[in-house]
């Protein structure tokens, strides 16, 4: 019996030893796992700290704005049937410096215009795009304002001839001359012509020869100012200047105007048609081109009769 008791105690002892060993092994493994986890955490913290120091988490700067880009806003042709959907010009890669040459072939003669892409890249690009599509061909110049609201200008570019139509897109105005201050505004007795007096001349926003657009209306209508104009309410984007062909414009002005069918005496008496309009980019010599002063409009010049 003694021997049997001793044997049972030995077996119990062995079982306990095995249990203790397994428990010790589990504890050892837990310690290893905790150590590994701590190491991984430390490494992760170190890596993240390095990334933070290196600026990985800094807010990324916005991509640079394309200085040669234009944003074209399309209009609803269903809401205004006088508009014409002709697509829109490219939004990027637009020539934003130098000049282009616009040539208008009118039924009264040819007119040459220098477009300034540096100050009016979107307006110049709109004219180029529409010219390439043939949009202006055989369209009418529908309005001639001879001191109407301070404007002396021939308006063209509306295929509908209503004054309410044109290419169905707009863009942000650019190169708009500032309005005159109160101190620059001539009194009620002052002559409406910009050349009449020094005070009146100060209000000239659009010198004779200015070609301007109204981008908030359509992408195609443009004005040719045939006389210095105060145009106090006309916030037009200047796109260029007439350089040749004043004879063709003088004929239109000399013929006068008739009622436009809406009670305004602004329709050219003799029909004015653009038979073609082109825009080209001439090859420039090295360096900045120097414009010929004789081709530039002079704000104080005497209007052609």
Residue with tokens 């890249």, as numbered in its chain: 121
> Alpha helix locations (H) across the chain?
2-53, 121-133, 198-201, 246-255
Instruction: Select from 234, 229, 227, 274 the least CA-distant residue to 250.
Output: 227
Q: Read off the pLDDT of residues 57-89 as tens digits, 9 standing for 90 and up.
A: 666 554 444 556 899 999 999 999 999 999 999
* pLDDT value, residue 303: 38
* pLDDT value, residue 200: 44
* pLDDT value, residue 134: 96
Is residue 135 a contact partner of residue 141, using CB atoms and an 8 Å limit? no
* pLDDT value, residue 155: 97
Residue 117 pLDDT exceeds 80 = yes
Q: For residues 115 and 97, what is the distance between their CA atoms, to the nearest angstrom? A: 10
* pLDDT value, residue 2: 57
End-to-end CA distance of the chain: 146
Q: Given pLDDT bands bounded at 50, 70 and 90, which one contains residue 203?
A: confident
Residue 141 pLDDT exceeds 80 = yes
How open is the CA angle 75-268-105, to the nearest 5 degrees? 75
* pLDDT value, residue 224: 98
* pLDDT value, residue 59: 62
Q: Given pLDDT bands bounded at 50, 70 and 90, which one contains residue 291?
A: very low
* pLDDT value, residue 301: 38
């Amino acid at each position: 019996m003694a021997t049997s008791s001793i044997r049972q105690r030995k077996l119990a002892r062995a079982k306990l030893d095995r249990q203790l060993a397994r428990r010790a092994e589990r504890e050892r493994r837990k310690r290893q796992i905790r150590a590994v986890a701590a190491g991984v955490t430390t490494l992760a913290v170190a890596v993240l700290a390095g990334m933070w120091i290196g600026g990985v988490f800094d807010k990324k700067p916005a991509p640079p704005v394309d200085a040669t880009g234009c944003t074209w806003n399309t209009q609803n042709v269903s809401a205004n049937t006088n508009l014409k959907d002709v697509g829109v010009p490219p939004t990027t890669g637009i020539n934003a410096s130098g000049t282009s040459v616009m040539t208008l072939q009118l039924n009264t003669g040819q007119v040459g215009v220098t477009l300034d892409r540096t100050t009016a890249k979107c307006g110049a690009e709109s004219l180029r795009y529409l010219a390439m599509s043939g949009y202006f061909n055989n369209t009418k110049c529908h309005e001639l304002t001879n001191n109407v609201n301070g404007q002396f200008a021939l308006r063209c570019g509306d295929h509908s001839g209503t004054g309410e139509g044109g290419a169905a897109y707009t863009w942000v105005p650019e190169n708009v001359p500032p309005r005159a201050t109160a101190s620059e505004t001539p009194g009620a007795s002052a002559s409406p012509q910009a050349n009449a007096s020094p005070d009146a001349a100060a209000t000239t926003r659009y010198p004779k020869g200015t070609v301007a657009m109204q981008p908030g209306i359509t992408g195609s209508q443009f004005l040719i100012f045939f006389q210095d104009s105060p145009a106090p309410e006309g916030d037009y984007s200047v796109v260029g200047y007439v350089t040749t062909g004043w004879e063709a414009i003088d004929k239109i002005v000399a013929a006068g105007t008739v009622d436009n069918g809406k009670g305004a005496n602004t329709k050219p008496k003799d029909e004015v048609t653009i038979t073609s309009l082109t825009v080209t980019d001439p090859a420039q010599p090295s360096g900045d081109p120097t414009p010929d002063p004789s081709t530039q409009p002079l704000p104080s010049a005497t209007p052609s009769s």
